[in-house]
Amino acid sequence: MAGAVAASDFQGATHLVPFEEDNLQYGKTVATGPIARLQQQLDTGDVTLTWDDQFGYLPAILKALKVPESSQMLVFSKTSFQRDRISPVSPRAVYFNDDVYVGFVPGSPLLEFSMADPKLGGVFYGFENVRTNRVKFVRTDNCLECHAGAKTMGVPGHLIRSFATDDRGVADLLSGGELITHRTPLEDRWGGWFVTGQHGSQRHRGNLVGAEAFARQQTEPNFAGNKTTLADLPPPFDVTRYLEPTSDIVALMVMEHQAHMHNFLTRLNYEATLQLKAYGHCNYIKSPLEAFLRYLLFVEEAPLKEPVTGSAEFARDFVAEGPRDSQGRSLREFDLKTRLFKYPCSYLIQSESFQALPPELKTRIYRRLEEILSGEDQSETWQRLTAEDRKAIREILVATLPDLPKSWKR
């Protein structure tokens, strides 16, 4: 599949990083991210979760973790942990914000959480969604069986797939090998997912359940596309079992950008940590760093051929977060005409995960970024960034990143 995880992201090395060994100690290190912090507040009684008769603790947890309900996306392929419960009549819902991902299957007592921990990268929790007065997020490494491997750059991380499925949601494993990222052309995305939102004549594999649907797509392109809400599909399941009537196309595109970005940050963090321990510097991370910059700056993004429109709620909730510069500009603003974002530089540069990278590595990233954004580096690789793009991104970063070197302020 074109545009999936490029082998060059890590010089083809997708081997598992030895993250359990002495220098990284993944399993023994305490997580410090939003879920660990919420658990502390729950233990001290500073926060309590309200039980909902239909959804259990889900709405209260989303609220406490500031994960917007509008980010809901539904996946029906039997590809994840609770696959026996997941199917086109009972899809799994996924919700997310900048550092937390939540999995919910109606009727299942298990809520699943993955998150981008500033130190550890991908960390996984289960949560028993039954009424109790001692709610508990349980960190578990069982999830790494799938969530740490070649698809996640060899580190504990996040997965987004696209498979053709049969009527029951069983994935045809030959129909999609790689992780979906912002580089993946739309026509290869969303197999096994429901998708709401407008995308014109651009085709995708969402909303196609079973071989017949895939065959019909050949003669009647987009017969299942361009649906505003799930009720327009109509889906083979009961929409009222979910918090929202959408599985938003823009939320999907954002998450696909973000998940690989998180994996990349984790891998860079581990590599730099290991090199710093071994050599006292991380100067050997050269080509992965360039690959990271290409991903950060969207230079290999699959272009949109026509505009995309998702739910107004998700767009509003997503753009509302995060810092703006004095002209009101934010890296979270959407373009959605020819590309995902108005300013092609990942908003995750402002995240805790990026900010927690080893300072030696961050210095190197900032140095290269300055060369590219100032226009000093005019090489072919960065040609998709116009002089205007570079200037705007540079100005937004200067206004919103407190730890940029002084040379940027000139």
Which residues here bind ligand HEC, judged by CB under 6 A?
Answer: 75, 77, 79-81, 92, 94, 101-103, 112-114, 124-126, 140, 142-143, 145-147, 158-161, 259
Which residue's CB is nearer to ligand HEC, number 101 or number 298?
101
Q: In 3D, which of 70, 79, 213 has the Cα closest to residue 91?
A: 79
Which residue's CB is nearer to ligand HEC, number 19 or number 382?
19
Please give the structure tokens belonging to residue 138: 């349980």
Cα–Cα distance between 202 and 305 in angstroms, integer?
Answer: 7
Q: In 3D, which of 17, 28, 22, 13 has the Cα closest to residue 277?
A: 22
Q: Minimal distance in Å, beta carbon 264 to ligand HEC?
A: 14
Which residue type sits at 222? N
246 neighbors 70 (Cβ within 8 angstroms): yes
Q: Minimal distance in Å, beta carbon 373 to ligand HEC?
A: 30
Cβ neighbours of residue 410 closer than 8 Å, sequence gap 6 or more = none
Which residue's CB is nearer to ligand HEC, number 77 or number 269?
77
Cα–Cα distance between 93 and 71 in angstroms, integer?
Answer: 10
Which residue's CB is nearer to ligand HEC, number 110 or number 213?
110
Q: Minimal distance in Å, beta carbon 359 to ligand HEC?
A: 27
Distance of CA 319 to the CA centre of its chain: 16
Q: Within the chain, what is the greatest distance between any pair of CA atoms?
A: 60
Which residue's CB is nearer to ligand HEC, number 143 or number 361?
143
172 neighbors 166 (Cβ within 8 angstroms): yes
266 neighbors 155 (Cβ within 8 angstroms): yes
Q: Minimal distance in Å, beta carbon 28 to ligand HEC?
A: 19
252 neighbors 190 (Cβ within 8 angstroms): yes
Which residue's CB is nearer to ligand HEC, number 102 or number 331?
102
Q: Minimal distance in Å, beta carbon 278 to ligand HEC?
A: 30
Cα–Cα distance between 124 and 101 in angstroms, integer?
Answer: 10
Please give the structure tokens belonging to residue 172: 């045809």
Cβ neighbours of residue 142 closer than 8 Å, sequence gap 6 or more = 124
Q: Minimal distance in Å, beta carbon 83 to ligand HEC?
A: 7
Which residue's CB is nearer to ligand HEC, number 177 or number 323?
177
Which residue's CB is nearer to ligand HEC, number 153 or number 392?
153
Which residue's CB is nearer to ligand HEC, number 77 or number 226?
77
Virtual torsion, Cα 243, 245, 250, 251, nearest 10 deg: 20
Q: Minimal distance in Å, beta carbon 138 to ligand HEC?
A: 9
Q: Minimal distance in Å, beta carbon 307 to ligand HEC?
A: 27
Q: Minimal distance in Å, beta carbon 91 to ligand HEC?
A: 9
Which residue's CB is nearer to ligand HEC, number 202 or number 266?
266
Which residue type sits at 335? D
Residues 188-223 as b or e (16 or more Cβ within 10 Å = b): bbbbbbbbbbebeebbbbbbbbbeebbeebeeeeee
| Residue 400: Cβ within 10 Å count | 18
Q: Minimal distance in Å, beta carbon 228 to ligand HEC?
A: 24
